[in-house]
Amino acid sequence: MSEKKIKNIFVKGPIEPAFIADSIAKHSSKTAIGGHSIFMGQVRKDEIDGKFVAAIEYTAYEEIALDKMHQIREDIFEKYPLHCMHIYHSLGTVKTGEICLFVFTSSAHRKPAIAACDEVVDRLKAELPIWGKEIFEDKTHQWKENS
Amino acid sequence: MEIEIISFGQITEFINNQKIEVDGITDTDAFKQYLEDRFPALKGLKYKLALNKNIVQQNTEITNQATIAIMPPFSGG
């Protein structure tokens, strides 16, 4: 197998809006880029049996998740003409209204960036061993299921 | 032989991380059967195993000192 450089995607706690803004700003020197696509996942205040979700606590099997993410990244770069791709996912507690996932793809023209961003989100949800525990306002919990 | 079990998500609520000593179990299919006998709560759930950090897609041989993860359906994002 070729040399692989495994990038970390995990961030402890929520992904701060300032971090996202800074990440966008860093691309101003990459002048071949003409389109960015960004997806942000936000913890939703779902109501289940009269109780509201207050936070999601994320855990992961990190080694497998990073290895899988590396494969997905390689597949996506092979499939779409991207300039760059950045992915961050929270671990630990993220309160409702806070950001738990940030996917950022860039290309010369918009379409590959949009398609790649969408595909990364789909694959990440299906293939990465990450689990969300929905914590209700009364401290009870249920395990999140991706629909 | 000795197997290290690690669990994730909902499964952590009834299977703790632990080292177990088993005899006569040589592959992941047999190991699943062993797990479901020992932890009946697992029977009603969907789960996957990872053997030494590789997700098990088909029946695979288990050797001594293996680490086996028990993983419920993923719910990231």
In angstroms, the CA A43 to CA A15 distance is 11
B25: three-class secondary structure by DSSP? coil
Q: Answer whether residue A77 is part of any domain.
A: yes
User: pLDDT-based confidence at B31, cuts 50/70/90?
Assistant: very high
A115: left (phi over 0), alpha (psi -120 to 50) or beta: alpha
Residue A140 forms contact with B (CB below 8 Å) = no
Give the number of domains in chain A.
Answer: 1
Q: Answer whether residue A112 is part of any domain.
A: yes
User: Residue A97: which domain range?
Assistant: 10-23+36-143
Set out the domains of chain B in order of their start, with CATH numbers: 2-71 (3.10.20.30)
pLDDT of residue B30: 97
DSSP B73: -
Q: Answer whether residue A82 is part of any domain.
A: yes
Residue B45 vs residues B1, B9, B72: alpha-carbon distances, Å:
27, 12, 7
Q: Answer whether residue A1 is part of any domain.
A: no
Q: Answer whether residue A4 is part of any domain.
A: no
Q: Answer whether residue A95 is part of any domain.
A: yes
Interface ipTM:
0.94
In angstroms, the CA A51 to CA A20 distance is 31
Q: Answer whether residue A84 is part of any domain.
A: yes
Residues of chain B with C-beta less than 8 angstroms from the C-beta of A133: 9
Per-residue model confidence as pLDDT tens digits over A96-114: 999 999 999 999 999 999 9
Residue of chain B nearest A88, judged by CA positions = B77
pTM, entire model: 0.95
Between B18 and A2, the higher pLDDT residue: B18
| CATH code, domain with A109 | 3.90.1170.40
Tokens of A97: 């209204």
Per-residue model confidence as pLDDT tens digits over B53-71: 999 999 999 999 999 999 9
In angstroms, the CA A108 to CA B7 distance is 43
Q: Answer whether residue A28 is part of any domain.
A: no
Residue B40 forms contact with A (CB below 8 Å) = no
Contact B77 A143 (CB under 8 A): no
Mutate to test the interface with B, among A61, A72, A88 (most CBs of B within 10 A): A61
Q: Which whole number is the average pLDDT over A72-92?
A: 98
User: pLDDT-based confidence at A5, cuts 50/70/90?
Assistant: confident
Tokens of B35: 């797990």
